[in-house]
Amino acid sequence: MFDEPTYKHFPKKELSFILAPFSGGQGKGGVEDGPKYLLRAGIQSEIEKLGWEITIDEPLKGQDFEERKNNETDVHGNCKRPQIVGEATKLIYKSCKKSAEEGKLTVTLGGDHSIAIGTVAGSFAKYPDAGLLWIDAHADINTPLTTDSGNLHGCPVSFLMGLAKESYPPDLQWVPQVLSTKKIAYIGLRDVDEGEKKILKEHGIAAFSMYHVDRYGINKVVEMALEALDPTGTLPIHLSYDVDAIDPQYVPATGTPVRGGLTFREGLFICERVAETGNLVALDVVEVNPSLGVNEMHIIDTVTAGIAVAKCSLGETLL
Ligand SMILES: [Mn+2]
């Protein structure tokens, strides 16, 4: 009853923070400050208290992506800013792959969700049989052909799967198609585009919306999601956590908030349960956008929620 989670791939409890202060996957400013705020609020010492030895890598350091964000010629078809998204995610990919190969649990602090193109590709390079658990209000599975907004933070999953590959901008053609439609499960969905619904249905993707959370309860939904990824319960798990999965009443400072989300406890329960499996190999915490807090409390709530997601994923328990 009082067992602490153990991480079977990381007996030495070595972990790397990959800082990914990138906002080019969407139009709003501020999400590039996510890593800075998480660090300033003490995420590193909080995780160290759980027994992890942490190294920090900054693959985007010295780059000028935030300045290049305003370059209006960086478009391809419907896609906005594919050059900087392609370049940034490739740097993040290399960093995540290196961390995985060095035997470290990889924790990437975003940044918008386009960075998952790099993080997931990096994890799967080392763990090709891994499953991807995607916690989000949105499915992020638009292709360049289905996206309305043209924002690439709504497309990372399709690039990783190679859906509509003929439509990819040149700068994203490096992305390895590591992800099978059978190796992803979603929890928290409630704002899914028509084109995305079609893709989810066509491929029989395991997608648990807020309806399912209400219908079955969070425990059952997590069990069904884990089962869909890996019926044996033994394979590696990459947890990609968009903080907008949690209801905006708890997490207001994020780019695309949608009402009717996970409670704070439901949001953390997912992380606790994944930690309990012992199979976690990588975690992304994305879409913390301090500039979108209307007041100081909004910023504090959102940043501390991001830290709580990391702590619960990395071994914090209530007892
Ligand atoms: Mn997302």
pLDDT digits (tens, 9 = 90+) for 20-58: 999 999 999 999 999 999 999 999 999 999 999 999 999
Residue 278 in this model has a pLDDT that exceeds 80? yes
Q: What is the largest CA-CA distance in the chain?
A: 58
Residues in the 5 Å CB sphere of ion ligand 1: 113, 136, 140, 242
pLDDT for 122: 98
User: What sign for the dihedral angle of Cα 231, 233, 234, 235?
Assistant: positive
Q: How far, in Å, from the CA of 286 to the mean position of ligand 1?
A: 7
Q: Are strands 75-76 and 79-80 parallel, antiparallel or unpaired?
A: antiparallel
pLDDT digits (tens, 9 = 90+) for 201-234: 999 999 999 999 999 999 999 999 999 999 999 9
Per-residue confidence band for 4, with pLDDT thresholds at 50, 70 and 90: confident
Strand order across the beta sheet in which 237-242 lies: 53-57, 14-20, 105-110, 280-286, 237-242, 131-135, 184-189, 206-209
211's enclosing H/E stretch is: helix 210-216
Q: How far, in Å, from the CA of 134 to the mean position of ligand 1?
A: 8
Q: How far, in Å, from the CA of 287 to the mean position of ligand 1?
A: 7
Instruction: Name the average pLDDT for the chain.
Output: 97
Domain ranges for the chain:
14-313
Q: How far, in Å, from the CA of 65 to the mean position of ligand 1?
A: 20
pTM of whole model > 0.75?
A: yes
Q: How far, in Å, from the CA of 57 to the mean position of ligand 1?
A: 23
Q: How far, in Å, from the CA of 271 to the mean position of ligand 1?
A: 16
DSSP structure class, residue 246:
B
Contacts for 226 with CB less than 8 Å, ≥ 6 apart: 131, 133, 185, 233, 237, 273, 274, 277
Residue 112, token pair as written in the block: 């918008």
CATH number, domain 14-313, options 3.30.1130.10, 3.30.70.1450, 3.40.800.10, 3.40.1010.10: 3.40.800.10
Q: How far, in Å, from the CA of 240 to the mean position of ligand 1?
A: 8
